[in-house]
């Protein structure tokens, strides 16, 4: 662990003082504190580390979200198995990687993003914020994004995917689940929820992705390619 503190990084110094004694866990903690740009969720992990809550740290950091029905779903909070800024960023990076393999015209057809009204103050996490992060990852890759101008019901996203002829779309919602949860529902070009083999291949792509783009997606210029979808839009059903 000591070699991570030689650069004078505050997060690394925290780790030197509070090593868990478990190399795998220490690495996961270091990754989280280095990659997470959300001060609230970063503090949650720092507090667990400083208070010696190693079991909870393992539960939060040593496993990842997996795709269930249509996408990802978990409680909002800090950790690689929770819904938060970092896991949504990494999931979108993985989805971009997979869609680029599947669609040669991905950067012409674009991607749809919608969200509901959920939010959690203690984690500075809301569906709208997660939707914006999703869009920013794709915009940084020069993918056109169709972003709803306000919160919408879940079916609006798959409908928009079909009407706009986008390659896919994401709805940030946990549907009927408890208010502490949130989710990341993915829809294919035909408006259907993703299923095997797409789900497994997307997870592989997510696991291959690091977090080197975090600073890029938070840049002020990240919104230049946004196409807003207004609720009063008149869909053309003639085609």
Domain boundaries, the chain: 1-62, 64-229
Its pTM stands at 0.85
Average pLDDT over the chain, rounded to an integer: 84
Q: Pairing mode, if any, of strands 181-188 and 71-75?
A: antiparallel
Q: Quote the pLDDT of residue 19.
A: 83
70: pLDDT confidence band, cut at 50, 70 and 90?
Answer: confident
Q: Quote the pLDDT of residue 224.
A: 52
Q: Out of 17, 175, 219, 230, pick the active-site residue.
A: 175
Q: Quote the pLDDT of residue 87.
A: 93
Is the confidence at residue 16, as pLDDT, over 60?
Answer: no
112-125 residue pLDDT tens: 999 999 999 999 99
Fold of 64-229: Alpha-D-Glucose-1,6-Bisphosphate; Chain A, domain 3 (3.40.120)
Query: Residue 14 contacts by C-beta under 8 Å, 6 or more apart in sequence?
Result: 33, 46, 49, 50
**3-class SS at 90?**
helix
9-13, 103-107, 225-229 — most confident range: 103-107
91 is catalytic: no
The pair phi, psi for residue 79, each rounded to 5°, is: 130, 155
177-231 residue pLDDT tens: 888 999 999 999 999 998 888 888 888 888 887 544 543 444 334 445 566 666 5
């Amino acid at each position: 662990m000591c070699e991570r503190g030689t650069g004078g990084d505050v997060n690394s110094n925290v780790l030197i003082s509070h090593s868990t004694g478990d190399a795998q866990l220490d690495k996961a903690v270091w990754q989280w504190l280095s990659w997470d740009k959300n001060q609230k969720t970063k503090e949650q992990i720092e507090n667990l580390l400083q208070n010696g809550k190693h079991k909870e740290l393992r539960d939060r950091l040593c496993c990842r979200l997996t795709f269930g029905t249509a996408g990802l779903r978990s409680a909002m909070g800090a950790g690689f198995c929770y819904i938060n800024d970092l896991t949504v960023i990494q999931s979108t990076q993985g989805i971009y990687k997979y869609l680029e393999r599947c669609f040669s015209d991905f950067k012409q057809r674009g991607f749809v993003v919608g969200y509901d009204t959920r939010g959690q103050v203690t984690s500075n996490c809301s569906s709208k914020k997660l939707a914006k992060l999703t869009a920013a990852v794709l915009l940084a890759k020069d993918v056109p994004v169709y972003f709803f101008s306000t919160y919408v019901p879940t079916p609006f996203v798959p409908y928009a995917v079909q009407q706009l002829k986008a390659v896919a779309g994401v709805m940030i919602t946990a549907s009927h689940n408890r208010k502490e949860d949130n989710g990341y529902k993915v829809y294919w070009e035909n408006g259907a929820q993703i299923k095997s083999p797409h789900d497994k291949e997307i997870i592989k792509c997510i696991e291959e992705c690091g977090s080197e783009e975090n600073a890029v997606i938070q840049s002020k210029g990240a919104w230049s390619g946004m196409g807003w979808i207004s609720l009063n839009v008149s869909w053309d059903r003639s085609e």
